[in-house]
A and B are shown apart, each in its own frame.
Chain A
Amino acid sequence: MKVEATKCMHCGACVGTCPENAIFLYEVALTFNDDCTKCGTCVKTCPVGAISMDDD
C-alpha cells in the first residue's frame, strides 16, 4: 500500500479497521507488515484519502 505522507494525519483510523492487523502507527510513521492482503479497507477508511493501492 502507498501512503502519501503529506496527506496522512497519523490518526490510526486505518490501523484499527485493518482486518489483518497489518498496520502500525508510531507517532507519524505508518507501516504495513507482510500480513497485508491488499483488501483496501484502509483506503476507504482514511478520512483524507491518504492511502492508495500500489501497483507492484
Chain B
Amino acid sequence: MIEMRRKCDVLVVGAGPGGSTVARYASQAGADVLLIEKRQEVGSPVRCGEGISAEWIEKYDIHPDPSWTRNKVDGARVFSPNGTMFTVNAENAGDEVGYVIERDAFDRMLAERAVRAGAELKLKTAALGIVKKDGKVVGVKAECMGERFDIEAPIVVGADGYESQVGRWAGIDTTMDPKDVQSCLQYRMVGLELTGNFVDFYLGSKVVPGGYIWSFPKGKDEANVGIGLQVSMVKEPGDAKKYLDKFIAAHPNIAKGQTVEMVAGAVSVCAPIDRTVADGVMLVGDAARQIDPLTGGGIANSVKAGKVAGEVAAQAIEAKDYSAGFFQRYEKGWRAIFENKLYRDYMAKEKLLTLSDETLDKLVGALAEGQLTKVSTLSVLQAIKRKYPELVKEFESML
C-alpha cells in the first residue's frame, strides 16, 4: 500500500452517492481530489430502501445497468388506514416511476466513476475533526488503520451522510428538531407474496404515527419492508421495530416471508436548512439535510447537489478563492434545482401529519376516484380540492 497523501485540492469526506459525485465532477474538471471513507467497503452495509425514480439518472451521466438496477417497478401505491388504495403508474406518473436498486452496487459504481475520473479513494479513513488556521478551514484531522494525521486541503466537502459532523465542526447548524427526524428500520424479506410490482406506502396512526411503512419490491417474492417513525412520536425505546413487526404480523402475505437482512437508520424530513457552506466548506446530500421531506428519498438530491458542488470546487481551485462568498455558487446552484420542491414537500408532510385516519381515508379515496391522467403535486391538490376544498386551503397559493 502506498503511503497516504496528506495534501490535495479538494478533500471529500464520505463516499456515498453525494461524495462520489462531488469527486467525479471535480476530478473531471481538473481538480486534485481525495475522497475518504471510514468504512472498509463503499456502499455496505446498505442503509436504504433502495427506491429511486428514473427520470433524473441520465442527466447525471449515470446509465441504468443490470448490475445495480435490480427491479424496474410499475409504479407506486398509497394505502390509507382503511386499506383504500391510490395507484400511480407509468401512464399518469411521468417521472415518478423508477427502480429498486442494489444500493451497495450503485454506490460502488459511483465511487468507481470518481476514481476513473482521477479522484483518489481512501477506505478505512475517517475524518475526526477539522483543522483551522486563522479561523479558516485548511483541512481535516484523519485516522487510517490506527494512524492519526492531518490532511491539508483548501476545500473540504462534507458528504458524510445523516450522521454528518463536518458541518457542525465548521459551525454550520445542521441540528434538527426530533419532529423532523424519522427513525427507520427495514427488513429485506424473501418468500413473501407481493400483490404487484409497485412501491407501496402504508399510512395511518395505527400503522405508524407520524410516518409510513414501505414495501419496495426487489423481485417476485422479495421486498424491502421498512418503517419511518417520527422521533417525537416515540413513546418507548425501540418503537420503530414494534410497529414494523406488528404491521407485518397483520399482513399474512408479508408475514410469509423471512428476513434476510436488517437495516436501521434515520432520515431528516426538515425544511431546507439556511446555510450549507462556510469558508473552505461545502455540505452535500444528507449532510446538508437535502432529503425530500415527504418521501424520505435522498439519493437523487445528493447526486444533483454533488454535481454542483464538484463543479464549484474545481472553479474555486482555479480562482484560488475558497470563501463562503465564492461557494454561493453552490448554495444558489443546488437551491435552484430542488429547494422549491423541498419546501413544497415539507409543507405537504406537515399537513399530512395533522390529518386524522378518517380524513386520510377520504383523501386517498378522492385520489383513487379522481382518475388523474397526470400525477403531480398540483394535480393531486386539485383532485382533493374538487371534493374536499377545506383540506387544501393552506395550499391555495400553489393552485
Q: How far is the CA of A13 from the CA of B163 in the complex (A)?
A: 7
Q: Are A47 and B38 interface neighbours, CB within 8 A?
A: no
- Residues of chain B within 8 A (CB-CB) of A24 are 165
Q: Are A47 and B164 interface neighbours, CB within 8 A?
A: no
Known contacts being A48-B241, A49-B237, is A11 close to B47, with CB within 8 Å? yes
Q: Are B161 and A12 interface neighbours, CB within 8 A?
A: yes
Distance in Å: Cβ of B296 to nearest Cβ of chain A = 13
Interface residues in B, total, Cβ within 8 A: 36
| B183, closest chain A residue (CB) | A47
- Residues of chain B within 8 A (CB-CB) of A55 are none
Q: How far is the CA of A51 from the CA of B391 in the complex (A)?
A: 40
Which secondary structure dominates chain B's binding surface? mixed
Known contacts being A21-B165, A25-B163, A47-B185, is A16 close to B266, with CB within 8 Å? yes
Stretch at the interface among B71-79, B173-181, B199-207, B313-321: B173-181
Known contacts being A9-B264, A26-B126, A27-B38, is A44 close to B162, with CB within 8 Å? no
Distance in Å: Cβ of B259 to nearest Cβ of chain A = 13
List A4-54 residues whose CB lies under 8 Å from chain B: 9-13, 15-17, 19, 21, 24-27, 41, 43-52
Distance in Å: Cβ of A18 to nearest Cβ of chain B = 8
Known contacts being A13-B183, A17-B231, A26-B126, is A46 close to B238, with CB within 8 Å? yes
Instruction: Let me know if B265 is at the binding interface, CB within 8 A.
Output: yes
| A19, closest chain B residue (CB) | B175
Instruction: Let me know if B335 is at the binding interface, CB within 8 A.
Output: no
Distance in Å: Cβ of B300 to nearest Cβ of chain A = 20
- Residues of chain B within 8 A (CB-CB) of A43 are 237
